Amino acid sequence: MKNKVNKESLWHQIVLNHRNYVLLFPFFFFFVLFTVLPVLTAFYYSFTDYDMINPARFTGIENYARLFLEDDVFLIALKNTIIFAFITGPVCYICAFLFAWLINELSSGLRLLAITIFYSPVLSGQLFTVWAFIFSSDRYGLINGLLMNLGIINEPIYWLTSPEMIMPVLIVVQIWMSLGTGFLSFVAGLKGTDKALYEAGSIDGIRNRFQELWYITFPQMAPQLLFGAVMQIVSSFSVGGISTSLAGNPSPEYAGQTILIHISDYGSVRYEMGYASAIAVVLFVLMFFSNKLITKLLSRVGS
């Protein structure tokens, strides 16, 4: 009975605020069509065996059982993704903020230049392929050539093909790539802070720039910090293109495998869409809870 009342009142609410719903509709429509539906479809297919040509066959939790119990490569992918998400991610996040903070102190012309430089990796999209050139495994590759000329090494290092070197190189490139992710919102946030508060703060006994940062700047920047963090999480969990472009798909001994590559390996190389969907669902769950965690952590900022 109570439920019914609630439903009625929801409908009632909608009727009352129909203009808002009309305005919301276009976004809502496309959001459902291109985001919610695919997620639900993936969820469905994760319980099937589906090769995209023959009809899907329901197999229950077989895919998940295989994923967690049999798939050794998934563990490598998970490990690498977690390294990207919880080590590279925060490093980038902190660096991006530090750079934004430093740049904020520059004169406006220099600041513009610095912003352009730091943001360019994001703007340029596929530009990270220059790293393939820099880290070329050939003896005439940039870094190999340099090190050999300096007499540090005698034989070229197989940067992107030797299983041990792949992750370090990828981490460097990923850091370079995602510095810009939160960076622009941080710059905007810093610009938007209320200058009067700093004056008030210094009267109230702020002793140094770090106290100023913690007690005044951060609380004012909370929305930008959250935005930056979410973006960082998303980009860290979805590292894939970099690895496939630089180390190949699959990378040697799966050293550069991430969850996203694992998905595309199964989805587009082996045409096992069902299994790929199961991995995607796991990734979705991981991202969802990481976002929750980050939101929680950030709520403590400035307190």
Partner 1 sequence: MVKGWQKGLGILLSVIFMFSSITIAVNAENTYGDSDAITEADNISVSDELSYEEYLKNINEEENYSAEEILLTGNNTLKIKNAEQKSEYKGKKNVVEIGQVASEITWEVNVSEDSFFFIKINYIPIEYKGKEISYSLKLNGSVPYKELGTLILPIRWVDSLDLEEELKTDAYGNDIIPEQEQKPEWSTVTVYESRGFYDEPLGIMLKAGKNTISFSTIGEPLVLESIVLYSPEKEKLLSYKEYYEEYSKKEQNTKNDFFKTIQAERPVAKTSPILYPTYDRSDPNLQPSSPSSIKRNIIGKGWENYGQYLEWEIEASESGFYRLAFKYRQSEKQESSSMRKLYVDGSIPFEEAKEIGFEYSRGYSVMTLGDKEEFFIYLDKGKHTIRLEVTLGDFSEIVRTLSQVQEKYSSIYRRIIMITSTSPDIYRDYDIEIEIPTLSDELREMADKLKSVQALLEGDGKYTADTKTLDEIIIQLESFVEKPYTIPERLSRFNSNNTTLSTYISSLQIQPLELDYIILSSKDSELPNAEANFFEKMLFEIKIFLSTFSNEYTSKSAQKKDNTIEVWLNSGREQLNVLTSLIDSSFKEKYDINVELKLIHCTLVQSILADMEPDIMVGISRNDPVDLALRGAIESLDEYDGFNEIKSEYNKEAFIPYILENKTYAIPETQTFNMMFYRTDIFEELGLSVPKTWDEFYNVSKMIIHKNMEVGLPYSNADFTGIFPTLVLQNGGEFFNETQTAMAFDSVQVIESFKTWTDFYTQLSFSLFKDDYNRFRTGEMPLSIMNYSFYNTLAVAAPEITGKWAMEVVPGTAKSDGSVDYTTTATGTAAMMMADSDKKDASWKFLKWWSSSEIQAEYGNRLEYILGASARYTPANMKAFEQIPWSNSERDIILEQWNYVREISNVPGSYYVTRNIDNAFRAVTMRNQNYREALNYWTSETNKEITRKRNQYGLN
- Site residues (vs partner 1, CB under 8 A): 49, 51-54, 95, 98-99, 101-103, 105, 135-140, 143, 145, 147-149, 151-158, 161-165, 168-169, 172, 175-176, 209, 248, 250, 252-254, 268-271
Q: Angle, to 10 degrees, between the axis of helix 163-191 and the axis of helix 108-123?
A: 140
| Cβ at position 142, least distance to partner 1 in Å | 11
- Shortest distance in whole angstroms from residue 48 CB to partner 1: 13
Minimum CB distance to partner 1, residue 59 (Å)? 10
Helix (H) or strand (E) holding 57: strand 57-58
For residue 208, what is the DSSP state?
Answer: S
- The residue (of 216 and 226) whose beta carbon lies closer to partner 1 is 216
Question: Letter for the amino acid at 34?
Answer: F
Cβ at position 141, least distance to partner 1 in Å: 8
Question: Closer to partner 1 at the Cβ: 262 or 294?
Answer: 262
| Comparison of 143 and 259: residue with beta carbon closer to partner 1 | 143
Cβ of residue 10: shortest distance to partner 1, in angstroms? 38
Instruction: Quote the least distance from Cβ 210 to partner 1, whole Å.
Output: 11
**Would you say 47 and 61 are in contact if contact means Cβ atoms under 8 Å apart?**
yes
CA distance 101 to 191: 10
19 contact partners, CB below 8 Å, separation of at least 6: none
Residue type at position 97: F
Tokens 């019914």 label which residue?
4
Which of residues 273 and 294 has its CB atom nearest to partner 1 in the complex? 273
Which residue number, 165 or 287, has a Cβ lying nearer to partner 1? 165
Nearest CB to partner 1, comparing residues 3 and 107: 107
CA distance 147 to 138: 12
Q: Which one, 177 or 287, has the nearer CB to partner 1?
A: 177
Q: What is the sign, positive or negative, of the torsion defined by CA atoms of 27, 32, 33, 34?
A: positive
Min dist. Cβ of residue 137 to partner 1 (A): 4
Contact between 128 and 244 (Cβ < 8 Å): no
Contact 177/195 with Cβ under 8 angstroms?
no
Cα-based distances in Å from 253 to 69, 76, 103, 145, 179: 20, 10, 41, 26, 28
Residue 50: both structure tokens together: 């589906």
Query: CA 252 to CA 195: how far, in whole Å?
Result: 53
